[in-house]
């Protein structure tokens, strides 16, 4: 529709039983006005103009909130408010369709009523300021154009002089104004300048808040922008603890989710300590330090900062959930379950805690209960793909390979080429004895640019499986992975997965003594799932060894002991 009609000439949009009058700015149904807040009005107008085209979430955010940074959740809440105003049901929509992972569009056919393009010379141009007539019809048109150009040129020259002077002389007032000119996301007005000095604390806080918004988008490019904002905040206020906390968390996110270099780990830890230096009573600062240690592979070191954070803020659901996850990874399942129960008691809709609960219950062999909690997380947040991944892994452990394949394939239909889902699908093929198909899907995850592959990607389970299935051709790459894993363990990391993956390498390269040695180390570091060992076909060369059989017996005894301890405390987890 928008390609056929000039938007500026449209006066009314008709769709289903609703009419949007853009001249009066009102929405009606059966001649009765439906009040709309400005943002809801702008959202509806954007959808009408695009109809029948689908608008992505990013496009809608840019249209409705220009020059303002918001997250996806803000848009979802605005759509919810608009639905409520027009009595639309999200489960069976009449007006607004949400296409998962893509965006929104209007369902009804949209027609419009238009005015003539230029009806009269005296027509007012209301697109700018309603106090000014259409100057194109005035006799001094030429003179006005010349004057406008001169004023615009003068403004540019003044701006240029401000930038140059602020750069060379570091005048605090001019520096603040220059920053506002060069970075439109930060606003500085007269209240920011007090007796010749800018209000640095206010500007630093603004920059920190902007950084936080970008950080919470959880995307690689936004995380880089967040880091830049946090650095700008610190440049203005060098003792601003929260900005150091944000910077540490952004670096930790860079390590955990995206590509990072060798310096990123040090940056995450160093900035967390800087945050504590300037505010030793900040729960957020200690949480940042705990997270920095965890993503660096130092689980034991991460516990003390998390406990300190919890002492400062006992009801912090995120800290409780993270700490329980670390205990679970270390094999301390009783304490892990206790902390995660506390987290979910504080917030029974915290999906991350639900997934952590599922993982711990799965490690205890409580598969049905684990399944309940994975499904609870998915029901609350269908796009939380980590929950789907673990649900599929649980099906694999239970030998339900077709179920796992269906789980991953259904999500891949919505989230095309998502690496976590591809890895899960490859796992389902591998454990169902379809090695060739598994190899094909692991290969899809191979990194295009091997020159920039980081250690995290190199030692990932998906990359290791790809290499194991292509031995002996991949022998050189396997040696590289082996060395990186050993270096990480020697540097102090106590992640059980690194020892476990070394055991896989040695089992597949006919070094059974080393395989058993690192498998024992993995168990001591926290591997408690019996199925992760005795159902891993990469360990088949070890199956008949007395040491391997003894190892499995010990693991089963330990798991039984855990279950005996929690038997009386399972009622919370059995809630449907």
Is residue 88 situated within a structural domain? yes
Is residue 108 situated within a structural domain? yes
Beta bridge partners of 103: 56, 99
% the chain with pLDDT above 70: 81
pLDDT interval class at 72 (50, 70, 90): confident
Widest pairwise Cα distance in the chain:
102
Tell me what pLDDT residue 171 has. Answer: 43
Query: What are the structure tokens assigned to 29, written together?
Result: 């149904």
pLDDT in tens, 312-322: 999 999 999 99
Report the CATH number at residue 19.
1.10.10.10
End-to-end Cα spacing for the chain = 48
Helix (H) or strand (E) holding 23: none
pLDDT interval class at 424 (50, 70, 90): very high
Is residue 13 situated within a structural domain? yes
Domain boundary among 84, 114, 144: 114
Is residue 276 situated within a structural domain? no
Helix %, strand %, coil % for the chain, to 5? Answer: 65, 5, 30
Tell me what pLDDT residue 9 has. Answer: 60
- What does the alpha-carbon distance between residue 164 and residue 174 come to, in Å, rounded to a whole number? 10
% the chain with pLDDT above 90: 60
pLDDT in tens, 15-41: 999 999 887 788 999 989 999 988 899
- What does the alpha-carbon distance between residue 85 and residue 69 come to, in Å, rounded to a whole number? 25
CA-wise closest residue to 269 among 296, 233, 243, 304: 296
Angle among Cα 345, 346, 350 to the nearest 5 degrees reads 90
Is residue 331 situated within a structural domain? no
Query: What are the structure tokens assigned to 101, written together?
Result: 């992972």
Is residue 185 situated within a structural domain? no
Q: Report whether 219 contacts 200 (CB < 8 A).
A: no
Is residue 291 situated within a structural domain? no
For 285-291, what is the mean pLDDT?
96
For 266-284, what is the mean pLDDT?
95
Tell me what pLDDT residue 252 has. Answer: 95
Tell me what pLDDT residue 502 has. Answer: 96
pLDDT interval class at 6 (50, 70, 90): very low
The two beta strands, 26-29 and 18-21, are antiparallel
Half-sphere exposure of 127 (CA within 13 A, CB side): 7
Tell me what pLDDT residue 341 has. Answer: 94
| Alpha helix segments (H runs only) across 32-184 | 38-50, 57-64, 72-85, 141-169, 172-182
Tokens 């200690």 label which residue? 286
Domain span at residue 45? Answer: 7-114
Based on C-alpha coordinates, what's the Rg of the chain? 30
CA-wise closest residue to 123 among 112, 113, 132: 132
- What does the alpha-carbon distance between residue 76 and residue 6 come to, in Å, rounded to a whole number? 29
Tell me what pLDDT residue 10 has. Answer: 75
- What does the alpha-carbon distance between residue 534 and residue 397 come to, in Å, rounded to a whole number? 10
Is residue 41 situated within a structural domain? yes
Q: Report whether 84 contacts 40 (CB < 8 A).
A: no
Half-sphere exposure of 147 (CA within 13 A, CB side): 5
Question: Which residues 6+ apart lie within 8 Å of 141 measured at CB?
Answer: 135
Query: What are the structure tokens assigned to 301, written together?
Result: 């070191």
For 216-243, what is the mean pLDDT?
92
pLDDT for 133 beyond 50: no
Domain boundary among 114, 132, 151: 114
How many other C-beta atoms are found inside a 10 Å radius of the C-beta of residue 256? 14
Helix (H) or strand (E) holding 29: strand 26-29
- Long-range pairs for 231-236 at CB < 8 Å and ≥24 separation? 232/183, 232/207, 233/204, 233/205, 233/207, 233/208, 234/204, 236/200, 236/203, 236/204, 236/207
pTM for the model stands at 0.65
pLDDT in tens, 446-482: 654 443 456 778 888 999 999 999 999 999 999 999 9
* DSSP 8-state symbol, 383: T
- What does the alpha-carbon distance between residue 116 and residue 96 come to, in Å, rounded to a whole number? 30
Tell me what pLDDT residue 128 has. Answer: 29
Please give the backbone phi and psi of residue 434, each rounded to the nearest 5 degrees, phi first.
-110, 70
Query: What are the structure tokens assigned to 401, written together?
Result: 């390979």
Q: Report whether 263 contacts 250 (CB < 8 A).
A: no
Beta bridge partners of 70: none
pLDDT in tens, 75-132: 888 999 999 999 999 888 999 998 877 889 999 999 887 644 333 332 222 222 322 2
Domain boundary among 66, 82, 114: 114
Q: Domains in the chain: how many in total? A: 2
Tell me what pLDDT residue 192 has. Answer: 42
- What does the alpha-carbon distance between residue 146 and residue 461 come to, in Å, rounded to a whole number? 67
């Amino acid at each position: 529709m928008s390609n056929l009609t000039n938007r500026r000439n449209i006066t009314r949009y008709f769709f289903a039983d609703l009419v949007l009058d853009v001249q009066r700015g009102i929405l009606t149904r059966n001649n009765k006005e439906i009040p709309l807040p400005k943002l809801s009005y702008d959202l509806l107008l954007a959808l009408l103009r695009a109809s029948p085209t689908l608008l992505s979430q990013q496009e809608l955010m840019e249209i409705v909130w220009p020059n303002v940074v918001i997250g996806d959740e803000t848009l979802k809440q605005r759509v919810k408010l608009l639905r409520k105003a027009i009595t639309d049901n999200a489960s069976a929509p009449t007006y607004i369709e949400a296409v998962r992972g893509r965006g929104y569009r209007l369902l009804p056919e949209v027609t419009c009523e238009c005015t003539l393009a230029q009806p009269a010379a005296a027509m007012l141009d209301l697109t700018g300021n309603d106090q000014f007539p259409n100057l194109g019809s005035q006799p001094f048109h030429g003179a006005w154009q010349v004057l406008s150009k001169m004023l615009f040129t003068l403004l540019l020259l003044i701006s240029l002089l401000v930038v140059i002077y602020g750069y060379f002389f570091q005048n605090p007032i001019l520096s603040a104004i220059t920053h506002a000119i060069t970075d439109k996301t930060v606003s500085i007005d007269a209240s920011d300048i007090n007796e010749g000095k800018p209000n640095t604390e206010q500007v630093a806080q603004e920059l920190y808040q902007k950084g936080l918004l970008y950080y919470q988008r959880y995307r690689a490019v936004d995380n880089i922008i967040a880091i830049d904002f946090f650095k700008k905040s610190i440049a203005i206020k060098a003792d601003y603890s929260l900005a150091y906390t944000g910077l540490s968390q952004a670096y930790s996110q860079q390590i955990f989710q995206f590509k990072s270099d060798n310096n990123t780990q040090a940056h995450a830890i160093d900035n967390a300590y800087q945050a504590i230096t300037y505010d030793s009573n900040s729960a957020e600062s200690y949480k940042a330090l705990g997270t920095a240690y965890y993503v660096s592979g130092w689980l034991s070191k991460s516990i003390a900062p998390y406990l300190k954070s919890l002492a400062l803020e006992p009801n912090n659901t995120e800290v409780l959930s993270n700490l329980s996850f670390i205990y679970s990874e270390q094999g301390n399942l009783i304490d892990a379950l206790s902390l995660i129960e506390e987290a979910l008691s504080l917030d029974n809709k915290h999906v991350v805690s639900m997934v952590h609960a599922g993982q711990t219950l799965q490690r205890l062999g409580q598969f049905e209960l684990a399944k309940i909690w994975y499904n609870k997380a998915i029901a609350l947040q269908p796009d939380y793909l980590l929950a789907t991944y673990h649900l599929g892994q649980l099906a694999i452990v239970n030998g339900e390979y077709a179920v796992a394949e269906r789980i991953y394939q259904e999500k891949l239909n919505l989230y095309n080429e998502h690496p976590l889902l591809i890895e899960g699908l490859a796992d389902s093929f591998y454990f169902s004895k379809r090695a060739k198909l598994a190899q094909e899907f692991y290969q899809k995850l191979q990194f295009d640019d091997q020159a920039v592959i980081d250690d995290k990607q190199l030692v990932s389970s998906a990359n290791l499986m790809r290499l194991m299935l292509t031995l002996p051709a991949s022998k050189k790459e396997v040696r590289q992975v082996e060395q990186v894993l050993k270096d990480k363990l020697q540097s102090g990391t106590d992640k059980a997965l690194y020892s476990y993956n070394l055991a896989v390498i040695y089992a597949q390269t006919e070094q059974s003594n080393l395989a058993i040695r690192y498998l024992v180390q993995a168990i001591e570091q926290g591997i408690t799932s019996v199925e992760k060992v005795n159902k891993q076909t990469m360990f088949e060369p070890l199956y008949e060894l007395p040491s391997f059989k003894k190892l499995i017996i010990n693991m089963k005894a330990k798991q039984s002991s855990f279950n005996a301890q929690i038997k009386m405390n399972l009622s919370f987890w059995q809630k449907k």
